[in-house]
Amino acid sequence: MNDIKSLNHAKLECKHYLTWAPKYQKKEIYGDVNTHLSAVFRKIARRTDCEILERHLHLDYSHMLIAIPQI
């Protein structure tokens, strides 16, 4: 899988690692909240033309790796 984008004078690969943790880090991110978070993340990614490469949910936080398109 080749994710390197080419421009006229440069090659780039723009990926960001994001972590989301609720304020009080309660161990309740499963079930309905997980479903809602997945829908929100997908909606934001579609709107901004980003691609979610990985997304993992843990007991008290969620993290994901996203690829951002070239400007």
Q: What is the pLDDT of residues 13-52, one digit of tens each?
A: 788 888 877 776 565 556 667 778 788 888 988 998 888 9
| pLDDT at residue 30 in the model | 61
**Sign of the C-alpha dihedral, residues 35, 38, 40, 43?**
negative
| Structure-model confidence comparison of residues 40 and 69, the more confident one | 40
User: What integer pLDDT is reported at residue 43 of this predicted model?
Assistant: 92
pLDDT at position 70 over 80: no
Cα separation, 25 vs 69, whole angstroms: 31
Could you please state the CATH topology (level 3) that the domain comprising 12-67 is classified under. Alpha-Beta Plaits (3.30.70)
Q: What is the pLDDT of residues 44-61, one digit of tens each?
A: 889 988 889 998 877 777
On the CB side of 33, how many CA atoms lie within 13 Å of its CA?
14
Q: What is the pLDDT of residue 10?
A: 73
Domain ranges across the chain: 12-67
